[in-house]
Amino acid sequence: RGGGGSNALDLPDVQKQGDFFVESPIILFASIIWYLKIYQNGKFCTFPHAIEFLNRRYEDIFPILTSYPELENYLSPFMDAWLGGAAEQLMGQIASAKIPLSRMISPQLYWVMSDSEFTLDINNPEEPKILCVGNNPDRQNIYGAALGLYNSRIVKLINKKGMLKSSVIIDELPTIYFKGLDNLIATARSNKVAVCLGFQDFSQLVRDYGDKEAKVVMNTVGNIFSGQVVGETAKTLSERFGKVLQKRQSISINRQDVSTSINTQMDALIPPSKISGLTQGMFVGSVSDNFNERIEQKIFHCEIVVDAEKVKREESAYKKIPVITNFTDEDGNDRMKETVQANYRRIKEEVKQIVQEELERIKNDPVLCKLLPDNETV
């Protein structure tokens, strides 16, 4: 679907898949991405161009999209509503796509997501890369959708045979929606892709990913490292670590004698109370092994010792991140704001020009001109 364009919608919609007003905007936006991929061999196929195209009049959008046989069937429900006079329903469907995407309309995001400085196949043997992206807590919902879009595309590109060993490391996972995460965990190991997820509590995952997908993620990971957690998460971990046969001794003392009884029973190897009382630096967890690399002690409860001096030496040797784009002009003035704003205006103007040229093409075609409402002129 256009390389993951459906991820641009709200995170709660993950739990509403199949709902009419959730699926409709996904299909519409995917059709726009597909159209931009076809038009002039994808010259304008960027996320900002897709958003700007969506925000044009629907009287312009639908004739353009349906003029391409590849998109005709996708747009059939919208065209039926339009030609059938169901304008209110149609506007509701379009608004369901426009409203969540409108939060992403900003010159800064348009700058980042417009031109291609590099490809996203980070484990390509010919062009290996390290990609580091971060979210902003103040604009979590906005940037989370953009990051989710990139993540979805990266997963499809790296999870293939014949690529380099790679790792996908995500901290604070619930702050973004990672489409295809459950499938990545299940299949990536065979393609030499290691997945490392960091979050505070399982309940965060259930809240933002839905109960079904959260359970799949929790049950398919092979290695778990956990610090102090409480409640259901502690119980879940304790159950995962299993039980062990333990001896119990009881002593009864009365006036005549002392009796001792010893019995055995299955108890939690690491009880929830111990997990909820861990101090800083103490961890519990379990690891998985390979057929030819057996690990005898798979479950652990220990303190992880950090060599502070070694970390300090490593940090002091860090190299500065190279400047990818220099916004300074010949006189030494910072022109970043003007450059970013000019890019924003350029994208809006390009989409406007695309719509004008496409409507002109449709109007001059004796077959396609019937798509225009009342054969209107451009």
Phi, psi of 207 (to 5 degrees): -60, -45
List the structure tokens of 206: 């259930």
What is the band of 6 on the pLDDT scale with cuts at 50, 70, 90? Answer: very low
pLDDT at position 140 is 78
**Whole-model pTM over 0.85:** no
Q: What does each C-alpha distance from 246 to 243, 261, 267 come to in angstroms?
A: 9, 14, 7
Place of tokens 């719509």: 355
Q: What is the pLDDT of residue 372?
A: 80
What are the start-end ranges of the H helices in the chain? 20-38, 47-54, 58-66, 69-72, 76-83, 87-102, 107-114, 140-158, 181-187, 202-209, 211-220, 231-241, 272-275, 308-316, 336-363
Determine which of 34-38, 163-167, 218-222 has the lowest per-residue pLDDT on average: 218-222
Q: What is residue 241's predicted lDDT score, i.e. its pLDDT?
A: 92
Give the pLDDT band of residue 94 (cuts 50, 70, 90). Answer: confident
Instruction: Determine the average pLDDT of the residues in 251-278.
Output: 86
Residue 7: what pLDDT? Answer: 43
pLDDT reported for residue 375: 54
Q: Can you give the pLDDT at residue 20?
A: 53
Range 189-195, long-range pairs (CB < 8 A, 24+ positions): 189/222, 191/158, 191/159, 191/160, 191/161, 191/163, 192/163, 192/164, 192/165, 192/166, 193/123, 193/158, 193/159, 193/165, 193/166, 193/167, 193/168, 194/165, 194/166, 194/167, 194/168, 195/167, 195/168, 195/221
The region of weakest confidence among 125-139, 249-263, 273-287 is: 249-263
**Per-residue pLDDT at 11 exceeds 50:** no
Give residue-wise pLDDT tens across range 184-199. Answer: 888 888 899 999 999 9
Residue 226: per-residue pLDDT:
94
Which residue, chain included where needed, has tokens 């996904």?
A: 26
Q: How far apart are CA 123 and CA 315, in angstroms?
A: 25
- Paired with 246 in beta bridges are 265
3-state secondary structure 282-302: EEEEECCCECCECCCCCEEEE
Cα 194 to Cα 107, 158, 358: the distances in Å are 35, 11, 45
What local confidence, expressed as pLDDT, does residue 95 receive? 86
The residue-averaged pLDDT of 68-72 equals 89
Looking at the DSSP assignment, which residues form a beta bridge with residue 247? 264
User: pLDDT-based confidence at 58, cuts 50/70/90?
Assistant: confident
CB of 120 closer than 8 Å to CB of 154: yes
Q: Which residues of 342-362 are buried (b: 16+ CB within 10 A; e: fewer)?
A: ebbeebbebbeebbeebbeeb
Q: Has residue 158 got a pLDDT over 50? A: yes
The pLDDT confidence band at residue 21, using thresholds 50, 70 and 90, is low
Cα separations (Å) of 349 from 30, 39, 98, 345? 22, 16, 19, 6
The reported pLDDT for the residue numbered 143 is: 82
The stretch 284-308 carries a mean pLDDT of 89
The mean pLDDT of 15-37, rounded to a whole number, is 77
Residue 183 binned pLDDT confidence (cut-offs 50, 70, 90): confident
Please give the full DSSP string across 189-231, using - where no structure is assigned.
Answer: GGGTEEEEEE-S-HHHHHHHH-HHHHHHHHHH-S-EEE-S--H
Average pLDDT, the chain: 85
> Any idea what the Cα angle at residue 175 is, between residues 170 and 180, rounded to 5°?
60
| pLDDT band of 24, cuts 50, 70, 90 | confident
Strand partners, 194: 167
pLDDT at 55 over 90: yes
Report the pLDDT averaged over residues 9-35: 69
pLDDT tens, residue by residue, 143-155: 877 888 888 889 8
Q: What are the residue boundaries of the structural domains of the chain, listed by start?
A: 1-107+335-378, 118-223, 227-318
Residue 19 has a pLDDT of 55
The token pair at 99 is 């409203």
